Structure 1
């Protein structure tokens, strides 16, 4: 792992462990609840693993916190600036693509802003997110094929799309050029207010 990836892995590990302890969950209990192996969870908490977006989402939902709460430093400021190239890279494609969490807000619900780049031939499948999740996407360049449930959509530069993220969906670049888009994700019931509720569960 390079230095930024190592730092991110350690940050995620500390957060997962702290949230697990706050809920008095054992490693086995959280692993079972999240549907991940105990070994993977141990590696995540020790900062020795670079978990996939899918694994992070399963852990965040099992803990009742938002994905940004696991990867970003908590802040009491009313505004947070993420400088260019300083976002958290949470997905890396086999040909050099990236999924970068640019900015987020946890109050009162989880709202995330992403920049995704898919190089030719790359794809990413996503399990259904928590109930009521909505995704908004705007394609900046290239062409991307998006499958939501059983429907497939092909977007070109300047096209936008809104869809329910609480069903299976996938992104794929079948073209010969890179595709880059901005994605916003709203997860109701996973923000700060729900975190307080879950801590008593």
Structure 2
């Protein structure tokens, strides 16, 4: 598979901000209060009628528990916007786990699901089990992967797929090669 590329320029995606706010169960008023801005300003940002400063963007990302890159779209062809995602226009998704690199394959976060391309470097691991209020399907494209679902270890190889429905899970790549997985997640969480 191709390498993830650092995009040249970004624009705040108001519709994605709205989708993430709703997915977190926050009203406009609640999010505006948490970032110390007015409801009117936030409404304007969500409708792409106003811009967020870098500080506002960081505050929004912090409250929504996502990376700032999750709120940004890469500038590209107007006719392809919302339909086509080229390798150089993929949004990198920041994360807090060493050895994990992710990019959004979906054009945006406005659908009922998102598609993510994840790369797990050799030795990468999530040591503590997590659970998300989502339904997820993963497909192993390359490499091998250890996945614990509700405490049971599953060793996965290329062509294997799995499902998570709010289960406690953790993962590790103890193997010498990078593992690549395509995820479909509903509702969008990034």
Deviation at 1:148, TM superposition (A): 2.0
Which has a greater percent of helix? 1
Deviation at 1:169, TM superposition (A): 2.1
- For the pair 1:25 / 2:35, whether they are aligned, the reply is no
Deviation at 1:30, TM superposition (A): 6.9
Deviation at 1:85, TM superposition (A): 3.2
Unaligned runs of 5+ in 1: 32-42, 58-67, 191-201
Q: d(CA) in 2 for partners of 1:168 and 1:7? A: 37
Identify the residue that residue 39 of structure 1 maps to in structure 2: none
Q: How many residues align?
A: 156
Please report the TM-score for the alignment, with normalisation by the length of structure 2.
Answer: 0.59
Whether the aligned pair in 1 keeps the contact of 2:136 and 2:184 (CA below 8 Å) is: yes
Q: d(CA) in 2 for partners of 1:78 and 1:87? A: 12
The secondary structure found in structure 2 opposite 1:161 is strand
Unaligned runs of 5+ in 2: 1-5, 37-52
Cα 1:104–1:16 shift into 2, 3 Å = closer
The secondary structure found in structure 2 opposite 1:158 is coil
Deviation at 1:163, TM superposition (A): 2.2
- For the pair 1:171 / 2:181, whether they are aligned, the reply is no
Whether the aligned pair in 2 keeps the contact of 1:90 and 1:100 (CA below 8 Å) is: yes
- For the pair 1:152 / 2:162, whether they are aligned, the reply is no
Deviation at 1:100, TM superposition (A): 0.9
Please report the TM-score for the alignment, with normalisation by the length of structure 1.
Answer: 0.56
Deviation at 1:117, TM superposition (A): 0.5
